[in-house]
Amino acid sequence: MPNSAQSVHGVVLGFDFGLKRIGVAVGQTITQTAAPEAIVNSKDGKPDWEHITRLFEKWQPVAIVVGLPFRLDGSEQPLTQPARKFGQRLSGRYHCPVYYIEEQLSSIEAESRQLKRQHIDDHAAQIILQNWLERLTVSPATNPETTE
């Protein structure tokens, strides 16, 4: 498994965690591009793991990126810890390294891009993943935290 985000090469799945819906995007480190892929439903905060497993089988990612929601002042908000726990579960289930990236306002940005869509979670995941991919070309000091 990669020790740092700099050594990740291949397909990456990005997640915008929510208690009702989880946005999923797929990206590629070579082209550094991401696209919306799916919206996974959650019931009582429990993700549809079968749907997520199908996405992993389809894409066979080399890494996972999970957006961690923070307040504008940088402090944690109520969904920060559940999103982190979700990332840990993804890593445990699919034996894939998870990289976290702070995300603020990705859903609002996605809404501004997709005014006519009912759910924008997959586009929020695309924004999260695209931001992470863009950081790969910056310096290693700005890489997101990693957990395996």
CATH of the domain at 120: 3.30.420.140
pLDDT tens per residue, range 104-125: 655 555 455 554 556 788 989 9
Residue 53 placed within a domain: yes
Q: Check: CB of residue 93 under 8 Å from CB of residue 142.
A: no
Residue 2 placed within a domain: no
Per-residue pLDDT, averaged over 85-99, amounts to 97
- Residue with the larger pLDDT of the pair 72 and 94: 94
pLDDT value, residue 138: 59
Q: Is the pLDDT of residue 50 over 50?
A: yes
Residue 32 placed within a domain: yes
Residue 93 placed within a domain: yes
Sheet of strand 146-147, all strands in order from the earlier edge strand to the far edge: 46-47, 33-43, 21-28, 11-16, 63-69, 98-103, 146-147
pLDDT value, residue 114: 55
How would residue 19 be classed by pLDDT, with cut points 50, 70 and 90?
very high
How would residue 62 be classed by pLDDT, with cut points 50, 70 and 90?
very high
Alpha helices in 72-140 (DSSP H): 80-94, 106-113, 121-135
Residue 101 placed within a domain: yes
Query: How many domains, the chain?
Result: 1
Per-residue pLDDT, averaged over 92-111, amounts to 78
Residue 85 placed within a domain: yes
Cα separation, 148 vs 88, whole angstroms = 8
pLDDT value, residue 115: 47
What residue numbers bound the domain in which 90 lies? Answer: 9-147
Residue 3 placed within a domain: no
